[in-house]
Amino acid sequence: MGSVTIQQRNELGEGKIGEDGFKVFGGQLKKDFLFAPGWRNINHGSFGSIPRAIQDKMRHYQDTIEARPDFVIRYEHGKLNDESREAVATIVNAPAETITFVNNATEGVNTVFKNIKWNKDGKDVAFYFTTVYDACGKTIDFLYDFHGEGKFISREIKILYPIEDEDILQRFRDAVKQVEAEGNRAKICIFDTVSSNPGLVFPWEAMTKVCRELGVLSLVDGAQGIGMVRLNLSEADPDFFVSNCHKWLFVPRGCAVFYVPVRNQHLLPSTLSTSHGYIPETGTRSTPPDIYGSKSFFINNFQWAGTKDYSANYCVKDAVAYRKKVLGGEERILNYLWDLNKKGSKLIAEILGTEVLENSKGTLTNCAMANIALPVWKGEKGPEAKETDVVVPVEDMSLAVAWLMRTLADEYKTIVPMFLMGNRLWFRTSAQVYLDLADYEYLAESLREMCERVRKVTGWA
Segment 221-242 shows an average pLDDT of: 97
Residues 304 and 390 in one domain: no
Whether pLDDT at 294 is above 90: no
**Do residue 248 and residue 122 come from a single domain?**
yes
Q: Are residues 284 and 358 in the same domain?
A: no
Domain boundary among 319, 345, 365: 319
Strand partners, 192: 221
Region 167-188: mean pLDDT is 97
> Do residues 211 and 217 touch, judged by C-beta distance below 8 A?
yes
Residue 99 lies in a domain: yes
Residues 96-109 as b or e (16 or more Cβ within 10 Å = b): ebbbbbbbbbbbbb
- What mean pLDDT do residues 135-145 have? 93
Q: pLDDT-based confidence at 1, cuts 50/70/90?
A: very low
The dihedrals phi and psi of 221, each to the nearest 5 degrees, come to -85, 95
CB 437 within 8 A of CB 343: yes
Enclosing domain of residue 442: 332-458
Confidence of residue 165 (pLDDT cuts 50, 70, 90): very high
What gap in Å lies between CA 101 and CA 143, rounded to an integer? Answer: 24
- pLDDT of the residue at 150: 83
How many other CB atoms sit within 10 Å of the CB of residue 18? 11
The yes-or-no verdict on residue 192 having pLDDT over 80 is yes
Backbone angles phi, psi at 203, to 5 degrees: -75, 65
pLDDT at 274 over 90: no
Q: What separation, in Å, do the N-terminal and C-terminal C-alpha atoms of the chain show?
A: 33
With both helix axes pointing from N to C terminus, report the angle between 330-352 and 311-325 in degrees, rounded to the nearest 10: 90
Let me know the angle formed at the C-alpha of 276 by 273 and 280, rounded to the nearest 5 degrees: 90
Region 344-352: what's the mean pLDDT?
98
Residue 108 has pLDDT above 90, yes or no: yes
Contacts 24+ apart (CB under 8 A), 450-455: 450/404, 450/407, 450/408, 450/412, 451/352, 451/374, 451/375, 451/376, 451/390, 453/407, 454/376, 454/390, 454/392, 454/400, 454/403, 454/404, 455/390
Longest Cα pair distance anywhere in the chain, in angstroms?
Answer: 73
Segment 66-88 mean pLDDT: 95
Judged against a pLDDT cut of 70, whether residue 94 lies above it is answered with yes
CB 49 within 8 A of CB 33: yes
Give the total number of structural domains in the chain.
2
Q: Is residue 146 part of a domain?
A: yes
Are 291 and 358 found together in one domain?
no
Q: What is the share, in percent, of the chain residues with pLDDT greater than 90?
A: 82
Residue 4 pLDDT greater than 80, yes or no: no
Q: Cis before residue 261, ω within 30 degrees of 0? A: no
386/397 Cα distance (integer angstroms): 19
Same domain for 147 and 271? yes
For residue 217, which phi and psi values (nearest 5 degrees)?
A: -65, 135
Backbone angles phi, psi at 365, to 5 degrees: -105, 20
Asked if 380 and 278 sit in the same domain, the reply is: no
- What local confidence, expressed as pLDDT, does residue 7 receive? 45
* Residues 328, 141: Cα–Cα separation, whole Å: 43
297 and 432, same structural domain? no
Q: Cα(359)–Cα(144) distance, rounded to whole angstroms?
A: 34
Q: How far is CA 355 from CA 15, 200, 285, 331, 345, in A?
A: 33, 15, 60, 28, 9
Mean local confidence (pLDDT), 13-33: 95
- Contact at 8 Å (CB) between 44 and 247? yes
Predicted local distance difference test score (pLDDT) of residue 184: 96
**Of 132 and 305, more confident:** 132
**pLDDT over 60 (residue 11):** no
Residue 289 has pLDDT above 70, yes or no: no
Q: Which of 59, 96, 10 is nearest to 311 (CA)?
A: 59
Residue 458 near residue 376, CB atoms below 8 Å: no
Examine residue 300 and state whether it is found in any structural domain, yes or no. Answer: yes
**Backbone phi, then psi, for 454, in 5-degree steps?**
-60, -45
Query: Looking at the DSSP assignment, which residues form a beta bridge with residue 153?
Result: 125
- Any idea what the CATH number is for the domain that residue 184 is in? 3.40.640.10
Q: How high does pLDDT run on average in the chain? A: 93
Does residue 338 share a domain with residue 297? Answer: no
Q: Which among 319, 354, 388 is the end of a domain? A: 319
Confidence class for position 10, pLDDT limits 50, 70, 90: very low
For residue 190, is it within any domain?
yes
Q: What CATH number should be reported for the domain holding residue 424?
A: 3.90.1150.10
Let me know whether 81 and 228 are in one domain: yes
Are 313 and 439 in the same domain?
no
Mean pLDDT confidence for 394-412 = 94
Is the model's pLDDT at 76 over the cut of 70? yes
Whether 362 has a pLDDT exceeding 80, the answer reads yes
Is the pLDDT score of 44 beyond 90?
Answer: yes
Give the pLDDT band of residue 6 (cuts 50, 70, 90): very low
Q: Is residue 61 part of a domain?
A: no
pLDDT, residue 155, reads: 96
Exposed/middle/buried for residue 191 (C-beta within 10 Å: 0-12, 13-18, 19+)? buried
Confidence check: pLDDT of 286 > 80: no
Q: Do 255 and 155 sit in the same domain of this protein?
A: yes
Contact between 436 and 340 under an 8 Å Cβ cutoff? The reply is yes
For the segment 438-448, the average pLDDT, to the nearest whole number, is 98
**pTM, two decimal places:** 0.93
Q: Residue 317: CB partners within 8 Å, gap ≥ 6?
A: 83, 84, 86, 87, 88
Does residue 364 sit within a domain? Answer: yes
Cβ pair 45, 428 in contact under 8 A: yes
Show which of 264, 289, 319 is a domain's final residue: 319
* CA atoms of 350 and 248, how far apart (whole Å): 27
> Is the pLDDT at 124 greater than 90, yes or no?
yes
Residue 45 lies in a domain: no
| pLDDT at residue 87 greater than cutoff 70 | yes
Residue 377 has pLDDT above 90, yes or no: yes
pLDDT attached to residue 72? 94
Q: Same domain, yes or no, for 239 and 362?
A: no
Does residue 38 lie in a domain region? no
